[in-house]
Amino acid sequence: MLTLSDVQTARERISQYVRRTPLVRARPLKERLFATEHLSLKAELLQVTGSFKARGAVNKLLSLDPEAMDRGIITASGGNHGLAVAYAGWIAGKPATVYLPESAPQAKADKLRHWGAEVIFAGEVFNDAMAAALAHAEREQMAFIHPFADPLVMAGQGTIALEILEDEPEIDTVIVAIGGGGLISGICTAIKALKPSARIIGVEPEGAPTLKRSLEAGKVIELEKIETVAGTLAPGRSEQINFDIIRDSVEDVVLVSDNCMAEAARWLWFEMGLAAELSGAAAVAALLSGKITTSPDERVCAVICGAGMDWLAMQGRC
């Protein structure tokens, strides 16, 4: 099981390869559309490659035996994790292969190639790309870096929580977007160890309620279909290790629409000058839509987990 010590070790290991991102106070504001007077934004969209994923991928890479990387590293991704693995491969001077679903934006593929990765499209959704990547890894004996169900990856993501608590020790609530669950697993492990009274709330798209449905069923389930354009939040299935941590440590998982994420992304751009992709705006979308209730004096942190402008062509109404 993942521990606080794992997260602290990860921080020491990755410190020279990732950025310590700022905790930005959401004030002054023209439109404050939520109750709390104390909202902070953890700006992980300013991380290397544009998302928090670099933390986990680098921690995993630096934990591998050098011989395990001789044939290269490989993964499947909706885009952001692939970029992080490409970056990790660039650090190590090892070839990286990234499988993407055909629904992934071409801009993500172009950026992956810029980091030196080989890009292979496979299947319509993330689960198809994952199956193809795992088969490739086994066939070629390559080191596979899982996007969310690896303790070393989760520990790397959990280093975000250490920074949040250093900048805001009295935090009451942390809001985190959920795809497969690696980010929230790492964050809640560290937060609950250091400040047990803080509540952790997860956010998923209405069209990909992977963890919400799994928690309701009491077991890991796989969604029959995905109906969201926020591809980095749409794996279709989590894994047992993530499910167990989220079940035990996360107070609630709420759902937001794609349009509401687009509205939140517009709010972040207009009010804060932050160019967050749909998934990056999910935590703020939960506040703007009233899915999460806060009090005026509650100290809230929303993790802005990824950069992008995929909301520009959307209507954006909560």
Does residue 60 sit in the same domain as residue 47?
no
Q: State the DSSP H helix or E strand holding residue 40, giving kind and residue range, or none if neither.
A: strand 38-43
Q: What is the DSSP string of 241-284?
A: HHHHHHHHH-SEEEEE-HHHHHHHHHHIIIII---B-TGGGHHH
User: Residue 301 in 3-state DSSP?
Assistant: strand
Q: Is the previous residue joined to 28 through a cis bond, with omega within 30 degrees of 0? A: yes
Residue range 127-150, pLDDT digits in tens: 899 999 999 999 999 999 999 999
Distance CA 94, CA 114 (A): 15
Separation of alpha carbons 240 and 293, rounded Å: 29
CA pair distance 285, 261, nearest whole angstrom: 5
Please check whether residues 155 and 274 belong to one and the same domain: yes
What's the whole-model pTM score?
Answer: 0.94
Q: Is residue 313 part of a domain?
A: no
Query: Within this chain, do residues 125 and 247 fall inside the same structural domain, yes or no?
Result: no
Residue pair 202/283 in contact by the 8 Å Cβ criterion? no
In a domain, 269, yes or no: yes
Question: On the CB side of 317, how many CA atoms lie within 13 Å of its CA?
Answer: 1
Q: Are residues 215 and 137 in the same domain?
A: no
3 state DSSP class of 73:
strand
Mind listing the pLDDT tens digit for each residue in 55-65? 999 999 999 98
Please state, in angstroms and rounded to a whole number, the distance separating the CA atoms of residues 277 and 76: 19
**Quick one: pLDDT at residue 19?**
98
- For residue 190, the tally of other CB atoms under 10 A from its CB is 27
Cβ(179)–Cβ(235) below 8 Å:
yes
- Please give the angle made by the CA atoms of 53, 261 and 21, to the nearest 5 degrees: 35
In angstroms, rounded to a whole number, what is the distance separating the alpha carbons of residues 153 and 151? 5
The reply to whether 91 falls in a domain is: yes
Point out the domain boundary residue: 75, 110, 144.
Answer: 144
Question: In whole angstroms, what is the distance from residue 204 CA to residue 149 CA?
Answer: 17
Distance CA(144)–CA(136), nearest Å, equals 9
Cβ atoms within 10 Å of 136's Cβ, excluding its own: 17
Q: What is the pLDDT of residues 173-201, one digit of tens each?
A: 999 999 999 999 999 999 999 999 999 99
Identify whether 124 is part of a domain: yes
Asked whether the beta carbons of 92 and 129 are under 8 A apart, the reply is no
Domain count, the chain: 2
Residues 6+ apart with CB under 8 A from 65: none
Q: Of 102, 120, 144, which residue sits at a domain end?
A: 144
117 and 233: one domain?
no
Task: Tell me the mean pLDDT in the region 250-275.
Answer: 96
Residue 182 covered by a domain: yes
105 — pLDDT class (breaks 50, 70, 90): confident
- CA–CA gap between residue 306 and residue 228 (Å, rounded): 16
**Contact call for residues 303 and 271 (beta carbons, < 8 A):** no
Domain range for residue 121? 53-144
Shared domain check, 158 and 41: yes
d(CA 189, CA 29): 32
Same domain, 122 and 249: no
Of 95, 120, 144, at which residue does a domain stop? 144
* Distance in angstroms (rounded) separating the CA atoms of residues 151 and 241: 8
Same domain, 158 and 190: yes
Quick check: is 314 in a domain? no
pLDDT tens digit sequence for 5-52: 999 999 999 999 999 999 999 988 888 888 889 999 999 999 999 999
Question: Does residue 67 fall inside a structural domain?
Answer: yes
CATH of residue 258's domain is 3.40.50.1100
CA quadruple 22, 25, 31, 32: dihedral sign: positive
**Tell me, what's the pLDDT at 310?**
86
Residues 94 and 206 in one domain: no
Confidence of residue 103 (pLDDT cuts 50, 70, 90): confident
Is residue 317, in this structure, part of any structural domain at all? no
Pair (122, 205) in one structural domain: no
